[in-house]
Amino acid sequence: MVAELAVSPHVVRRGRGTGLILVASLLFGCSGALGKPAMLAGMSPEQVAATRIGTSALVLLAGVALFRPALLRVRRREWPLLVAYGLVGVAGVQLLYFVATSRIPVGIAILLEFLSPVLIALWTRFVRHVHLPRPMWFGIALATVGLALVAQVWQGLRLDAAGLLAGLGAAVCSAAYFLLGEHGVASRDPLGMVTWGMVVGAIAVCVVAPPWTVPWALTTHYVDFGPWRPPIWLLLAALALFSTVLAYLAGISALRHLPASVASVLGLGEPVIATAAAWAFLGEELAWVQVLGAAILLGGALIVQLNSRAATAAPG
């Protein structure tokens, strides 16, 4: 049994890890454009999240049970990590982000959630005692400035304590998603970890939004989506299969090749993609300052990537 659960030996390939995290960012970044039509039609954000995670859990559980059932076997000592990953890295990020966006501007909520690279850098430096080179800190700061421009955080700024706490909570959960994933893939296959994490996350989010409260009749309505008019159920299916199942698999697989401190910064491309997807499919305008912010953000992420090898140096 131990042999079945062990992760097969693999060669660390930073290029592959970078490609995987960029794919994950692309897929995660499209989730807002895919889910927003359902919310505009009358579904609550919590109901969209419950549908998204629940459908993803069913697809993963059925697929793994049929084709790789050995991955569903879990040793007792592994359950705490899997439960934490599901509660925090799957359910926690989305639910807290939804709470934040309901109380503070979306731009502020995005900025708060994507402060996770800073939290991971602090964890890496002061808990793991790993030295991070100065250019890497500069790249993180530059990426954060670019993110603020993409999110246009100055629009509609107002103070709401509960909303700000929820946004900071989403950042903590996002950081935990990378750190727990990095730890988990050292001993488990990424597919098995994502499957159980999604099941745990689905149970948690369905407590907040039970399936019988979802207005399923709305999913047959047709909505505008770029040049097309698909039914809402098709967009929700794409949200589950592409922006959740494949996105989580790509993201956690990347952590077999990249440290969390690097992967989290490269993941900052997600808000850029989200903004571009909203412009392309929902008609939301893309301001020039957002394009500038995207360039600054990507420049910061590149600096982090170029200096990432030094982040694994001897403890400082």
Output the six-digit token pair for 109.
């909520």
Among 29-43, 101-115, 288-302, name the most confident range: 29-43
* Interval 115-168: pLDDT, tens: 788 888 888 878 888 877 888 888 888 888 887 887 777 776 555 778 778 888
- What is the percent of the chain where pLDDT is above 70? 89
Cα dist from 196 to 89, 96, 173, 190, 247, whole Å: 12, 21, 17, 10, 15
Give me the pLDDT at residue 188, please: 87
Confidence (pLDDT) at 53: 95
How does residue 9 score in pLDDT terms, banded at 50, 70 and 90? low
Calculate the CA dihedral of residues 202, 207, 212, 214 and round it to 10 degrees: -70
Mean pLDDT over the full length of the chain? 84
pLDDT at position 309, please?
A: 59
> Are 253 and 20 spatial neighbours (Cβ–Cβ below 8 Å)?
yes
Which of 234, 241, 286, 246 is closest to 25 using CA atoms?
A: 246
pLDDT at 286: 67
**pLDDT at residue 316, as a whole number:** 44
Tens digits of per-residue pLDDT, 29-67? 888 889 888 988 999 888 999 999 999 999 999 999 999
